[in-house]
Structure 1
Amino acid sequence: MASPEIDALADALARLPGLGPRSARRAVLHLIKRRETTLVPLLRALEAVSEKLSLCHICGNVDTVDPCGVCADPRRDAKSLCVVEEVADLWALDRTRLFPGRFHVLGGRLSALDGVRPEDLTIDRLVARVGDGGIDEIVLATNATLEGQTTAHYIAERLEAMPVRVTRLAHGLPVGGELDYLDEGTLAQALRARRPIE
């Protein structure tokens, strides 16, 4: 039996992605056992982020400054813009250090089933950014789901009349993937996107 405060902490942690009630209780016990080295620094970090957290008015990234660190970085190529569904996608792509440009977060993907329409996303803001000029390439990095592909096609149509090159991330076989473990959609996409051996 734990106190209501400890139960409340475990319940709050259990609502985080990837943590269920048992994992949350284990995390709480770890925090309590190592109060000075883990709990106190975690509390300080949460307070600091909570006080400074903001949404970048340019790209939609989450940061403690506005504009965010990506948009404010003068080393970034302002002519290339990578369009992603969520902030987590931006962070994942940025960790690779392979895309030198800037980003645009849509805030989701089109989904008739879930009632997500174009006006629910930041597509109009994206079109306005491109319309302001200075962008040569749009990289559509939406997920390889039906909704992600629908979103990419919709955006490509909206940008069709603009003087910008629209590209899409390659889809297909993952590195280290074995064919008999892959789904038919992934295999079909890999076959359609095949290219000569270099």
Structure 2
Amino acid sequence: MTTDGAPAAAPVARLADEFSKLPGIGPKTAQRLTYYLVRMPEEEARALAEAIVAVKERIVLCGVCYNITESDPCVVCANPRRDRNRICVVEEALDVLALERTNTYRGMYHVLHGVISPMNGIGPDDLRIRPLLDRLHGSDIEEVILATNPNLEGEATSMYIQQLIAPLGIRITRPARGLPVGGDLEYADEATLARAIEGRQEF
């Protein structure tokens, strides 16, 4: 019982409630995950809990590209062998992982952490667009690849950024349409992503 006489929330109900707050997790899935954890061996459950805590305690944003990382700058930005004349702009950190798996792109990245979405109350100021412009001003950047997802919000975000970058005289490209319209970079296979990057087009 709580101090005001109300019954305390049962741990199972509380866990299911927390799972349901995750994106793409409905009440039924939250319940299945909860009961899976109830049956899980204690050492595995503790390992999961420790992994979650470690992510919150040790992960930071790279001060250069805003990718998620354990060190600042991240391993890509700190690598002297990367092509520093090109920046690939992506929506999320997962997109960096997807592109790195192709072993095709050797330039730098910039993570926006979202897309412009008026329906969800997300505007340009909510994204890492201003830091991108700061990186470009007075730099030796020769090309910006706008690799947002090929859906309505991704296209709108790319168009907005393109209009801001165009006056700087920097070459602006985007991945070729090997990516399915309406799909997300993180779900594309390596071969498709590699072809899209290699066949990128002028914006």
TM surpasses 0.5 = yes
| 1:121-180 CA-partner distances (Å, limit 9, x unpaired) | 222211111114132211001122233222222222222232421101122674xxxxxx
Asked if 1 retains the 8 angstrom alpha-carbon contact of 2:89 and 2:112, the reply is yes
Q: State the distance in 2 between where 1:26 and 1:157 align.
A: 46
- Structure 1 position 115, deviation (Å): 4.6
Identity %: 42
Match of 2:192 in 1: none
**Structure 2 CA distance for partners of 1:149 and 1:77, relative to 1, 3 Å:** same
Q: State the distance in 1 between where 2:176 and 2:81 align.
A: 25
Q: State the distance in 2 between where 1:88 and 1:173 align.
A: 16
Q: State the distance in 2 between where 1:82 and 1:98 align.
A: 12
Instruction: Extract structure 1 runs of 4+ deviating beyond 6 A.
Output: none
Residue type at the aligned position of 2:101: R
Structure 2 counterparts to residues 27-176 of structure 1, below 5 A: 27-171=33-177, 174=180
For structure 2, the 5+ residue unaligned runs are 1-8, 181-198
Aligned residues: 173
**Structure 2 CA distance for partners of 1:93 and 1:40, relative to 1, 3 Å:** same
**Structure 2 CA distance for partners of 1:94 and 1:48, relative to 1, 3 Å:** same
| 1:8-63 CA-partner distances (Å, limit 9, x unpaired) | 11221222233322222222232232323420111121122221121222112122
Match of 1:23 in 2: 29
Q: State the distance in 2 between where 1:70 and 1:7 align.
A: 42
**Structure 2 CA distance for partners of 1:114 and 1:25, relative to 1, 3 Å:** closer
TM-score, length-scaled by structure 1:
0.74
**Structure 2 CA distance for partners of 1:24 and 1:171, relative to 1, 3 Å:** same
Asked if 1 retains the 8 angstrom alpha-carbon contact of 2:86 and 2:141, the reply is yes
- Structure 1 position 113, deviation (Å): 4.4
Q: State the distance in 2 between where 1:161 and 1:33 align.
A: 59
For structure 1, the 5+ residue unaligned runs are 175-192, 194-198
Q: State the distance in 2 between where 1:117 and 1:49 align.
A: 27
Superposed CA RMSD: 2.5
What secondary structure is seen at the aligned counterpart in 1 of 2:168?
Answer: coil
